[in-house]
């Protein structure tokens, strides 16, 4: 399965996938996936990761795009769509030049919302890792811990553990079906929670929950074990999963001690 990974920051999730791939090679196993290219919208460590791993890096600065086109609103949907159309062309050009088909887009620390045009072009091929439990629902039936500050929000509301969610991306923010829920991580910092403490916890969560969940999701997809019906319900080995998708450590409500 050929993956194009999208990142905007440290690239730690992308690095974790590369290391998982390399471990399979070192153990004389045939990996079920390969990162064929990395896309980034800014100067960040993704460039270095690509260079070190001999993976093509596709770079298209959103800031430069915004300035050159004399646009006024970075969050305007039409701006996002215009940018993404150029991104699509660049990604497809890279695939053509390097002779591979794009099987999956992994948003791994990508800090931009993708447009409906992007999702239509790569229909049912875009997944994202979110640092909170998206199976938790509020009194109005909405997902409770969404957005960029989801970890801080969860801990501020009294949650004593967190886990990451891998979702199939749709046109709404953090709203797609949950494919995999990663291992739980107990919060060990002091209360009341501050943004700095939540950030420290989230950094630990990357290794403890992000990376295992992302690897498991890719494994299930590449082996054909994961499927989604027209209602958005997730199945693994044809067995219907809960709203949390495939749960990596279902401990009967007992959090891990890590």
Q: 49-92: per-residue pLDDT in tens?
A: 999 999 999 999 999 999 999 988 898 999 999 999 999 999 99
* Residue 253 clears pLDDT 80, i.e. is over it: no
Average pLDDT of 170-196?
95
Q: What is the pLDDT of residue 250?
A: 55
- 252 band by pLDDT with thresholds 50, 70 and 90: very low
pTM: predicted TM-score of the whole model, two decimal places: 0.93
* Residue 152 clears pLDDT 50, i.e. is over it: yes
Q: Tell me how far apart the alpha carbons of residues 180 and 221 are, in angstroms, rounded to a whole number.
A: 11
Q: Tell me how far apart the alpha carbons of residues 18 and 14 are, in angstroms, rounded to a whole number.
A: 6
User: How far separated are the first and last CA of the chain, in Å rounded?
Assistant: 32
Residues 6+ apart with CB under 8 A from 227: 234, 235, 238
CB 135 within 8 A of CB 146: no
CB 74 within 8 A of CB 66: yes
**DSSP per position, the chain:** -EEEEEESS--HHHHHHHHHHHHHHHTT---S-EEEEEEESSSSHHHHHHHHHT--EEE--HHHHHHHTT-S-TT-HHHHHHHHHHHHHHHHHHHHHTT----EEEESS--SPPPHHHHHHTTT-EEEEESS-TT-B-TTSSBSS-STTHHHHHHHTT-SEE--EEEE--SSTT-SPEEEE---EE--S-SS--HHHHHHHHHHHIIIIIHHHHHHHHHHHHTT-EEE-TT--EEETTEEPBTTBEETT--TTPPP--
The count of C-alpha atoms lying within 13 angstroms of the C-alpha of 54, restricted to the half-sphere facing its C-beta, is 1
Average pLDDT of 138-156?
96
Q: What is the pLDDT of residue 233?
A: 97
Q: How does pLDDT run across 97-125, given as a tens digit for each residue?
A: 999 999 999 999 999 999 999 999 999 99
* Residue 199 clears pLDDT 50, i.e. is over it: yes
Q: What are phi and psi of 226, to 5 degrees?
A: -105, 135
Task: Please name the residue that has the structure tokens 């609103």.
Answer: 73
Average pLDDT of 227-247?
97
* Residue 254 clears pLDDT 50, i.e. is over it: no
Length of the chain, please?
A: 258
* Residue 258 clears pLDDT 80, i.e. is over it: no
**Sequence ranges of the domains in the chain:** 2-247
CATH architecture of the domain formed by 2-247: 3-Layer(aba) Sandwich (3.40)
* Residue 256 clears pLDDT 90, i.e. is over it: no
Q: What is the mean pLDDT of the chain?
A: 94
Q: What is the pLDDT of residue 251?
A: 43
Q: Tell me how far apart the alpha carbons of residues 247 and 183 are, in angstroms, rounded to a whole number.
A: 8
Helix axes 12-26, 45-53, angle to 10 degrees: 10
């Amino acid at each position: 399965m050929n993956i194009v990974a999208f990142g905007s920051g440290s690239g730690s999730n992308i690095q974790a996938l590369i290391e998982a791939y390399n471990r399979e090679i070192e153990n004389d196993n045939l990996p079920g996936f390969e990162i064929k290219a990395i896309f980034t919208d800014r100067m960040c460590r993704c460039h270095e990761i690509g260079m070190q791993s001999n993976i093509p890096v596709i770079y298209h600065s959103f800031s430069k795009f915004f300035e050159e086109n004399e646009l006024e609103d970075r969050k305007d949907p039409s701006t996002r769509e215009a940018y993404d159309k150029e991104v699509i062309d660049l990604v497809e050009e890279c695939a053509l030049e390097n002779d591979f088909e794009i099987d999956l887009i992994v948003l791994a620390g990508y800090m931009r919302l993708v447009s409906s045009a992007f999702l239509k072009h790569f229909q049912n091929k875009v997944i994202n890792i979110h640092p909170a439990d998206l199976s938790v629902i509020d009194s109005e039936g909405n997902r409770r811990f969404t957005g960029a500050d989801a970890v801080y929000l969860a801990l501020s509301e009294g949650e004593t553990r967190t886990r990451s969610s891998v979702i199939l991306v749709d046109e709404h923010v953090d709203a797609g079906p949950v494919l995999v829920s990663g291992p739980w991580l107990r919060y060990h910092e002091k209360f009341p929670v501050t943004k700095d403490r939540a950030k420290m916890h989230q950094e630990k969560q990357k290794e403890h929950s992000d990376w295992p969940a992302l690897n498991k999701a890719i494994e299930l997809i590449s082996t054909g074990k994961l499927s989604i019906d027209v209602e958005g319900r997730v199945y693994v080995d044809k067995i219907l999963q809960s709203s949390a998708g495939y749960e990596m450590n279902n401990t009967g409500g007992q959090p891990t001690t890590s």
